[in-house]
Amino acid sequence: MNYKKTTLKNGLRIITAPMKDTNTATVVVMVGVGSRYETEKEAGLSHFIEHMFFKGTERRPNTLAIAEELDSIGGEFNAFTSKDRTGYYAKTDAKHIETALDVVSDMYLNSKMEAVEIEKEKGTILQELNMYEDNPMRTVGDLFEQMLYPKNFLGRDIVGYKKTIEAFKRKNFLDYMQRFYVANDTVVCVAGKFDEKKIISLVKKYFLQMSVGEKPQFKKVVEAQKNPEVKIKFKKTDQTHFILGNRAYHEKHPDRFAVSLLSIILGGNMSSRLFIEVRERRGLAYYVRTGGDSYDDCGYLATQAGVEHKNLEEAVKVILQEYKKIATEEVSQKDLQRAKDYIKGKSVMGFESSDEVAMFFIDQEIKRNKVLTIAEIFAKIDKVTVSDISRVAGDIFNEKSINLAIIGPHKNEKKIKNLLKLNQ
C-alpha cells in the first residue's frame, strides 16, 4: 500500500493513498485535539463542536442540506471525538469523492455555529449522555479511565457534564476552535480510487488559507499507583459489567507491538485463553475480551466481561490466574505465531476497504507524526519473541498497578479488593 504525504505552507498535512482495486473512496479530516485538552469548564466542548459541524455552513445552511447532498450519492458520513483527536469523514462511490471532499471540507472550515442551533443541540447531547448512562457495557470503560486518571482530564468522560453542556455559549465554541482547530494540527487523508493530483490540488484550494496556531498542550499523566484499586458504581442491573487490568505503555513505546500480541493471546479472539477459560469452560460470561488503549503519555491493558452478579468473584479470580500464568510461564512459539497471523489477517482484510485504509494512515500521522506502512508494521510484529511476551507480561501484570472497575449492585469494596492479588 503506497501513500504520499504533502505538507502545505501553513503546516497542514495531506495523506493520499490510491487503491486501484476498489470502487470507493474515503475522505477524513482530523484534528489532534480531544476532550483531554479541555479545561474543567470546557468539559464536553470538543464533542459538542463535532455535533455542530453538521448544523450548516453558508453554502449548506442546515443539517438537511448537508445530509441530502451526501445521502443523494449513497455516501456514508459521520464524525467522532476521542480523548486526543476529533475526526470527520465521508465514504462514497469513487466517482463522487470530489463531492465528499467538498462537503467535509466545508463543514470543517465554514461551520456557522449559530446560537439557536447550539441551544437545540444541548437537548440532543443530554439525551446522548442519558443513553450512555443506561448502557453499563459502554460506561464501565469510562469508569475504568476515571479510576486510572482521577487527577487528570484524561479521566473525564468525553461527552462532558450536564452542567457544562447546558452552560456553553457560542463564544466558547469560537474561542476553542480558534485555539485548537489550526492548520498545523490538522491532517486530511483521502484513500481509495481517485485522481491523486486533482485531489491534492482541491485540498490545497480548500485549506491553504486555514490559520496557523500553537500546537495544543495537555496536562501529562503522572503514574504513581502503589496499590491495587477498585471503583464500584452501584447500579441495579441485570448483569455485572467489569474491567480488570493494569497500567501499560504509551503509544510510541517500542514494546507496543508485544502488547498487541499479548492482548490477542489473552482475550483477542475466540481461541484466546480467556475466551476459552471464562466463557467456554466455565460459562461465566457471554462476552469477554482483552484489549487496551494508549495515549501520548500512558496506556493500559485490560479485560472486560459481563457476568451474573454472583459470579463476579470467580470471573475476577480466573482472569487474574491467566494474567499470572502468562507473566510467569512462556507462551509457546505456536501460540505466538497464531497471534501474529491473526493480526496480519485482520489487517489485510481491513485494507480492502478505503475507510479502513484512510483511518490507518491518518491515525498514525495525527498521533505520531510518522506513518509506518503495513509491511513495516508486520516486520516489527515478526520481531517479537516469546521472551518479549514474557518480559512485557511480567512488567505489566504486577499487583501494585492492577485496577478493577465494576458497574452493578455491589457494595463490598474491601472484599473485592482482597481478590486483587497476583501473587497468591
Q: Does one domain contain both 202 and 284? A: no
Expressed as residue numbers, the domain containing 138 is 4-207
Tell me, yes or no, whether 169 lies in a domain: yes
What is the grid cell recorded at 320? 487474574
Q: Does one domain contain both 390 and 300? A: yes
Tell me, yes or no, whether 424 lies in a domain: no
Confidence of residue 47 (pLDDT cuts 50, 70, 90): very high
Tell me, yes or no, whether 224 lies in a domain: no
Q: Does one domain contain both 164 and 257? A: no
Which residues, 6+ apart, have CB-to-CB distance to 63 below 8 Å? 54, 55, 56
Q: Does one domain contain both 135 and 197? A: yes
Per-chain mean pLDDT for the chain: 96
Q: Does one domain contain both 112 and 13? A: yes
Q: How far apart are CA 15 and CA 200, in angstroms?
A: 9
Tell me, yes or no, whether 214 lies in a domain: no
Q: How far apart are CA 51 and CA 223, in angstroms?
A: 33
For residue 423, the model assigns a pLDDT of 63
Q: What is the mean pLDDT of residues 206-211?
A: 97
Tell me: pLDDT of 173 over 70.
Answer: yes
Tell me, yes or no, whether 346 lies in a domain: yes
Q: What is the mean pLDDT of residues 355-381?
A: 96
pTM value is 0.96
Would the CA dihedral through 380, 384, 389, 394 be positive or negative?
A: negative
Q: How far apart are CA 414 and CA 417, in angstroms?
A: 5
Catalytic machinery residues: 50
Confidence of residue 414 (pLDDT cuts 50, 70, 90): confident
Q: Does one domain contain both 398 and 250? A: yes
Tell me: pLDDT of 422 over 70.
Answer: no
Q: What is the mean pLDDT of residues 45-58?
A: 98
Q: Does one domain contain both 84 and 176? A: yes
Tell me: pLDDT of 65 over 60.
Answer: yes
Q: For 276-307, what is each residue's pLDDT tens digit?
A: 999 999 999 999 999 999 999 999 999 999 99
What is the grid cell recorded at 292? 487496551
**In total, how many domains does the chain have?**
2
Owner of C-alpha cell 442546515 = 62
Q: How far apart are CA 221 and CA 403, in angstroms?
A: 16
For residue 253, the model assigns a pLDDT of 97
Q: Does one domain contain both 275 and 323? A: yes
Q: How far apart are CA 423 and CA 237, in angstroms?
A: 32
Q: Does one domain contain both 162 and 247? A: no
**Cβ atoms of residues 268 and 341 within 8 Å:** no
For residue 98, the model assigns a pLDDT of 98
For residue 246, the model assigns a pLDDT of 98
Tell me, yes or no, whether 219 lies in a domain: no
Q: Does one domain contain both 174 and 285? A: no
Q: What is the mean pLDDT of residues 394-408?
A: 96
For residue 216, the model assigns a pLDDT of 84
Q: How far apart are CA 119 and CA 165, in angstroms?
A: 10
Instruction: Give percent of the chain above pLDDT 90.
Output: 95
Q: What is the mean pLDDT of residues 247-259?
A: 97
Burial class (CB in 10 A: 0-12, 13-18, 19+), 321: middle
Q: Does one domain contain both 110 and 201? A: yes
Q: How far apart are CA 257 and CA 316, in angstroms?
A: 26
Tell me: pLDDT of 408 over 90.
Answer: yes
Tell me, yes or no, whether 308 lies in a domain: yes
Q: Does one domain contain both 201 and 270? A: no
For residue 169, the model assigns a pLDDT of 98
> Which residue type occupies 149?
Y
Q: What is the mean pLDDT of residues 87-95?
A: 98
CATH number at residue 177: 3.30.830.10
Q: What is the mean pLDDT of residues 55-66?
A: 98
